[in-house]
Amino acid sequence: MAPLIFTTLFSLLLLSNTNAHTKHGFTVDLIHRDSPKSPFYNPAETSSQRMINAIRRSARSTLQLAKYEASPNSAQSVITSNHGEYLMNISIGTPPFPTLAIADTGSDLIWTQCKPCIKCYRQTAPIFNPKESTTYKNVSCSSSKCRALEDSSCSKAEDTCSFIIAYGDFSYTKGVVAVDTVTLGSTDRRSMSLRNVTIGCGHKNSGKFDPAGSGIIGLGRGSTSLVSQLGKSINGKFSYCLVPLTSQTGLTSKINFGRNGVVSGKGVVSTPLVQKADSPSFYYLTIEAVSVGRKKLHFSGTNNGTGEGNIIIDSGTTLTLFPPEFQQKLEPVVASTIKAHPMQDPSGLLNLCYKNISSFKLPEITIHFKGGDVKLENLNTFVEVAEGLSCFAFSGNDRMTIYGNLAQMNFLVGYDTVSKTMSFKKTNCAKM
Ligand SMILES: *[C@@H]1O[C@H](CO)[C@@H](O)[C@H](O)[C@H]1NC(C)=O
Ligand SMILES: *[C@@H]1O[C@H](CO)[C@@H](O)[C@H](O)[C@H]1NC(C)=O
Ligand SMILES: *[C@@H]1O[C@H](CO)[C@@H](O)[C@H](O)[C@H]1NC(C)=O
Ligand SMILES: *[C@@H]1O[C@H](CO)[C@@H](O)[C@H](O)[C@H]1NC(C)=O
Ligand SMILES: *[C@@H]1O[C@H](CO)[C@@H](O)[C@H](O)[C@H]1NC(C)=O
């Protein structure tokens, strides 16, 4: 009896804490996978080596997606973003089981590796055992939670709701859909608990998942994401502020929910947030033009200016990826404003590289979103790929058009799915 009473009391405490808390919103650390606080951190690497690896990860996932789509038998849904570059610390179950997982604005489901493993990738931290959580419950086939999940399938015989998610780089996770309590550790040391959160318990997981991560926290726009499941308590609002990777301070980026997630005040630029029926997880924005200094280039995007939503905003992709036709117009304009000789990128990943960019003036690049202009700083547009060698951080890609995380650094980036707007406010994220 004793453990049961304890559990009930514990849950009540969590619940009351939640109610008091969400009125004000809450803030959670967003740890870049290459920052000193991350278990992925490799102190032997230089910052430019880390950057090259991040660029490779982005390039790999979009490249391999092309191959994956070419396979005629790919019946499963394919998550097109890479696994993401930021980690969030959450706890699953009762008692709370700490889980460090990748925060992904390009997918929805919250999933973790689960015991018993039919096949699990190597994971440094202990693996979640649903049998040890008193609040864990498998979701039945008839439940609305099973039907809400796009990637679910049902075995009527066992009444088991299963899910499978395949990622662009051939990784996949397969398991059962369940509900459990999810606790987010707030930066003010109070915790925020949610009951009956739909999660994926992955019993068969394989691919290029790093041993330091236990799964993925989907922050996408679809109904099963953490953001959607937080629902009314955050009123559809969250924001993050990404600390530039070059600041060697080990400072952690932050993600804010609810009232804390509101972006307001002087200098806020807002643009409509577009949702598309064929990719409901993605946050789409509309870019009308891009300026290099005073030269303005019309941006039609993938759908040739016919519709709204010509670019996805994603925290998990490093570079900004533009359609190759646009990139081919943009690069010569950027090059023409720089009075230095372009160099070869030793990694072969980027064009337009220059030595010692601090010794000359770089062009000011402005993104003309529908409804407002975002002026970028040099740290948003050039990235150091080797000692003293920096390259233009925008790249051509014929598969995906993505507003990447380098372009978002030192901006408070606000998502509001209720008023369907996205906001940018220039901010020194290290001081948040
Ligand atoms: C995540 O949270 C757990 C438990 O609160 C803590 O022990 C661990 O240090 C945290 N990890 C990171 C990377 O912050
Ligand atoms: C959930 O479903 C899986 C697969 O059918 C099963 O192995 C497991 O025992 C179930 N867990 C609970 C708590 O019912
Ligand atoms: C959680 O779901 C169970 C059924 O699956 C239900 O009985 C319970 O009331 C729900 N709890 C909350 C707090 O919504
Ligand atoms: C894009 O739009 C322009 C002008 O409206 C048109 O001339 C061109 O043919 C279109 N291209 C495609 C691929 O539809
Ligand atoms: C880079 O440029 C600055 C300013 O012109 C200069 O002081 C510095 O010596 C240069 N560094 C290298 C490595 O060329």
pLDDT tens-digit series, residues 325-362: 999 999 999 999 999 999 988 888 888 999 999 999 99
The residue whose CA has the least distance to atom 1 of ligand 1 is: 89
Is pLDDT above 50 for 387? Answer: yes
Check if 104 is active-site. yes
Q: In this predicted structure, what is the pLDDT of residue 16?
A: 35
| Same domain, residue pair 136 and 269 | no
Residues 291 and 165 in one domain: no
Confidence of residue 171 (pLDDT cuts 50, 70, 90): confident
Question: Could you give the number of structural domains in the chain?
Answer: 2
Rg (CA), the chain: 22
Burial 220-231 (b: 16+ CB within 10 A, else e): bbbbbbbbbbbe
Mean pLDDT of the chain, nearest integer: 84
134 lies in some domain? yes
Mean pLDDT, rounded, for 131-148: 92
What is the CATH classification number for the domain harbouring 185?
2.40.70.10
The pLDDT assigned to 257 comes to 92
Residue 356 Cα: closest atom of ligand 5: 1
Domain holding 338, by residue range, is: 265-431
Domain assignment present for 260? no
Is 144 found in the same domain as 86?
Answer: yes
Q: What's the one-letter identity of residue 95?
A: P
Assess whether 188 carries a catalytic annotation: no
> Does residue 188 have its Cβ closer than 6 Å to ligand 2?
no
Clarify whether residues 230 and 343 are in a common domain: no
- Inside any domain, residue 4: no
- Tokens representing 305? 């200016």
Ligand 1 within 6 A of CB of 37: yes
Report residue 60's pLDDT band, with 50, 70 and 90 as the boundaries: low
> Is the same domain home to 200 and 287?
no
Residue 255 counted as domain residue: no
Q: Are residues 341 and 230 in the same domain?
A: no
Helix (H) or strand (E) holding 239: strand 237-241
Give the lowest-confidence range in 32-46, 47-61, 68-82, 123-137: 68-82
Q: Is the CB of 95 under 6 A from ligand 1?
A: no
Residue 174 shares a structural domain with residue 313: no
Contacts 24+ apart (CB under 8 A), 135-143: 135/11, 135/93, 135/94, 135/180, 135/181, 135/195, 136/93, 136/178, 136/179, 136/180, 136/201, 137/178, 137/179, 137/180, 138/176, 138/177, 138/178, 139/176, 139/177, 139/178, 139/179, 139/198
Q: Do both 89 and 133 map to the same domain?
A: yes
Q: Give residue-wise pLDDT tens across range 73-122.
A: 333 333 434 456 888 989 999 999 999 998 888 888 999 999 999 999 99
Assess whether 299 and 356 both reside in one domain.
yes
